[in-house]
């Protein structure tokens, strides 16, 4: 009955979901492409080798990037159907993986849509990356005797409170999850409080620490400050801090918004403050102070080249983004106060003096001045950040080995 009520409300709101996607597609046509995937239609067939099939769900861009090592390791033993929910995630997945991995938008969480998707692919297991717990998906998998695993699980205090308020629905759903790997003891405690039995949960650290130094192409553009994965409300603070920066003539400011369709608006905001602004896609030899990155796929290159990097989503209450990539690629790191999505990882960086946390625009300016004026100190932050990453490696092997041992490799 609880699942029927949930599906009833999802069905009622489906027209609103459709209208929302249509509206978003005005600025990002990716929301229109492969639209029928969301209803379980126009799916690509697998080769149907002897390998067992895994449905792996990574909701958005960050999860697609973070799960890369795990998916590549599992793909050596299994056929993978990878789903994501956003155009940025879908584009990144198609950029990373060859054609032997099927990539789709995830089906909406209605019983009859999930049933169609599962019947089409007949997965032997469903792996969900980090936090996406879908009642219809998990319930239908349970009904069809398909194991469900939460990989690299995390549950922030904010998410915990949300699940707690919906405990009438999620308490039963959580009991149907086969096994959960969590990143830290704090995440484990929250899952236990939601009713997960202790013998079905294990602390394995984060697979994101297993990121390797990629083949990057550093940008030969001189000294610059990188503002990465920024959200509305952050760019104005960054621009004002940069405007008051004492060495502004020696450092450019590059802003890479989390959603590239916002680039034009940010450029206009920078122009209104009085900056000489250029979009990255139009970067030439003419003078500029601020560059807005309006293309995807280059962030690693910028991290590897930046004099320092502010990691966005943290000056506003979005929960922050992953510090591990800039740590691996050698950028001194600045974060804001709102890092609840990566609370334990960020705290470890802070405890080891491997990043600088700022609380407001004034402190952001102080951090920029500090890294710009003291290269030796900046290098020490970079060194300590890499030490944090090295110390925490190994989770990918733990989680992948467990799945391989549970499923076996062939039918």
Please give the pLDDT value at position 409: 63
Structure tokens at 73: 């390791």
Please give the pLDDT value at position 22: 87
Please give the pLDDT value at position 298: 85
Please give the pLDDT value at position 31: 84
Please give the pLDDT value at position 411: 56
Structure tokens at 301: 């290159």
37-206+393-407 matches 224-391 in fold = yes
CA–CA dist 55, 61 (Å, integer): 17
For helices 2-24 and 135-143, the axis angle rounded to 10 degrees is: 130
CA 207 to chain CA centroid, Å, is 12
Q: Would you say 151 and 125 are in contact if contact means Cβ atoms under 8 Å apart?
A: no
**Among the residues of 176-292, which ranges form H helices?**
185-193, 235-243, 263-273
| Architecture of the domain delimited by 224-391 | 3-Layer(aba) Sandwich (3.40)
Q: Give me the residue label for tokens 């999505």.
A: 341
Per-residue pLDDT of the chain (411 residues; tens, 9 = 90+): 788 999 998 999 999 988 888 888 887 888 888 889 999 998 988 876 788 999 999 998 889 988 999 999 999 999 999 999 999 899 999 988 977 799 999 999 999 999 999 999 999 999 999 988 899 999 999 999 999 999 999 998 888 998 888 888 888 888 999 999 999 999 999 999 998 999 999 999 999 999 876 678 788 889 999 999 999 999 999 999 999 999 999 999 999 999 888 999 999 999 999 999 999 999 887 899 999 999 877 899 999 999 999 999 999 999 999 899 999 999 999 999 999 988 889 999 999 999 999 999 999 999 999 999 999 999 999 999 999 999 999 999 999 999 999 998 665
3-state secondary structure of 3: helix
Count the Cβ atoms, other than its own, within 10 Å of residue 116. Answer: 15
The dihedral over CA atoms of 91, 93, 94, 99, expressed in degrees to the nearest 10, equals: -170
The dihedral over CA atoms of 340, 342, 67, 217, expressed in degrees to the nearest 10, equals: 120
3-state secondary structure of 232: coil
Q: Would you say 242 and 290 are in contact if contact means Cβ atoms under 8 Å apart?
A: yes
Please give the pLDDT value at position 98: 73
Please give the pLDDT value at position 373: 97
| Helix, strand, coil % in the chain, rounded to nearest 5 | 50, 15, 35
Count the Cβ atoms, other than its own, within 10 Å of residue 250. Answer: 12
For helices 135-143 and 167-175, the axis angle rounded to 10 degrees is: 40
In the CATH scheme, what is the code of domain 37-206+393-407? 3.40.50.11720
Question: What is the DSSP pairing of strand 333-335 with strand 252-257?
Answer: unpaired
Q: What are the sequence ranges of the domains in the chain? A: 37-206+393-407, 224-391
* CA within 13 Å, CB half, 139: 20
Q: Would you say 226 and 309 are in contact if contact means Cβ atoms under 8 Å apart?
A: yes
Longest dimension (CA), the chain: 65
User: How far are the Cα atoms of 7, 47, 118 from residue 36, in angstroms, in the given order?
Assistant: 19, 22, 15
Nearest to 205, CA basis, from 280, 274, 153, 136: 153
Q: Would you say 396 and 75 are in contact if contact means Cβ atoms under 8 Å apart?
A: no
């Amino acid at each position: 009955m609880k699942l029927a009520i949930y599906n009833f409300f999802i069905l009622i709101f489906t027209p609103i979901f459709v209208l929302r996607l249509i509206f978003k597609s005005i600025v990002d046509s990716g929301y229109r492409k492969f639209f029928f995937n969301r209803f379980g239609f126009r799916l690509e067939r697998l080769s149907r080798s002897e390998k067992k099939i895994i449905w792996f769900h990574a909701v958005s861009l960050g999860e697609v990037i973070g799960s890369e090592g795990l998916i590549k390791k599992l793909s050596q033993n299994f056929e993978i159907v990878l789903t994501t929910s956003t155009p940025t995630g879908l584009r990144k997945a198609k950029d990373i993986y060859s054609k032997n991995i099927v990539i789709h938008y995830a089906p909406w969480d209605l019983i009859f849509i999930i049933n169609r998707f599962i019947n089409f692919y007949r997965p032997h297991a469903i792996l969900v990356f980090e936090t996406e717990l879908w009642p219809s998906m998990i319930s239908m998998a349970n009904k069809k005797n398909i194991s469900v695993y939460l990989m690299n699980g995390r549950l922030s205090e904010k998410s915990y409170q949300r699940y707690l308020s919906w405990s009438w629905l999620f308490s039963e759903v959580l009991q149907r999850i086969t096994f959960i790997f969590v990143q830290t003891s704090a995440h484990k405690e929250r899952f236990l409080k939601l009713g997960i039995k202790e013998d079905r949960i294990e602390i394995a650290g984060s697979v994101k620490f297993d990121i390797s130094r990629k083949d990057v192409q550093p940008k030969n553009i001189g000294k610059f400050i990188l503002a990465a994965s920024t959200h509305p409300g952050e760019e104005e603070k960054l621009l004002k801090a940069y405007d008051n920066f004492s060495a502004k003539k020696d450092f450019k400011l590059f802003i890479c918004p989390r959603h590239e369709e916002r680039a034009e608006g940010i450029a206009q905001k920078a122009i209104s403050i009085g900056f000489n602004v250029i979009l990255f896609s139009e970067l030439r030899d003419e003078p500029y102070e601020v560059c807005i990155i309006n293309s995807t796929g280059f962030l690693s290159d910028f991290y590897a080249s930046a004099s320092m990097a502010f990691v966005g989503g943290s000056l506003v209450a979005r929960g922050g983004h992953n510090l591990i990539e800039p740590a691996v690629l050698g950028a001194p790191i600045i974060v804001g106060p709102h890092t609840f999505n990566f609370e334990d990882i960020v705290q470890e960086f802070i405890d080891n003096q491997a990043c600088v946390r700022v609380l407001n625009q004034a402190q952001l300016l102080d951090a920029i001045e500090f890294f710009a004026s003291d290269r030796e100190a900046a290098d020490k932050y970079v060194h300590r950040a890499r030490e944090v990453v090295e110390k925490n490696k190994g989770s990918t092997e733990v989680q992948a080995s467990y799945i391989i041992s549970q499923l076996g490799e062939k039918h």
